[in-house]
A = this chain, B = another copy of it.
Amino acid sequence: MAIIRNTIAKKTVFEIIQLNKTAMSQTEIFAMVNNICDRVTVYRILERLVKEMKIHKIVNVNGVINYAPCNSCEHEQHLHHDHLHFSCTTCKKLTCIADNHIELNIPSNYQVAEVFLTVSGICPNCLIIP
């Protein structure tokens, strides 16, 4: 069994993700850690936090991987069945929107693991500015 260590860098990264309202990319997170560690370390910390199920990985509509805390989704298997991600095309921010249970209609010969539901558009913040 691997021993999990709680390093300063790891704590800092996790705090940043938790405090932020929108999901963040590695680039954004690294910009906020203030050179407390190397950018490779950020990648490795994110990888570990995902494995420990403290954060989850969401792909933005442009292909950039984002990370968000696993607050409301503590169920095993890490399924996102009632979870929706809004991807703003203006500010590029990815926001979690809960309470979206959906019914799928997938042939039984497919083995489903995770459900990713992402909606693109313009978020309230960006709609204000004309």
Interface residues of A (CB under 8 A from B): 59-65, 84, 86, 89, 97, 99-100, 102-107, 109-124, 127
The chain B residue with its CB closest to the CB of A125 is B109
Chain B positions within 8 Å of A105 at CB level: 84, 97, 99-100
Query: Copy number of this protein in the oligomer?
Result: 2
B124:A106 contact, CB within 8 angstroms: no
Residue of B nearest to A127 (CB): B111
Instruction: Establish whether residues B109 and A124, one from each chain, have CB atoms under 8 Å apart when the complex forms.
Output: yes
Q: Choose from B86, B97, B102, B112 the contact partner of A121 (Cβ within 8 Å).
A: B112
CB distance from A69 to the nearest CB of B (A): 19
Contact B120 A117 (CB under 8 A): no
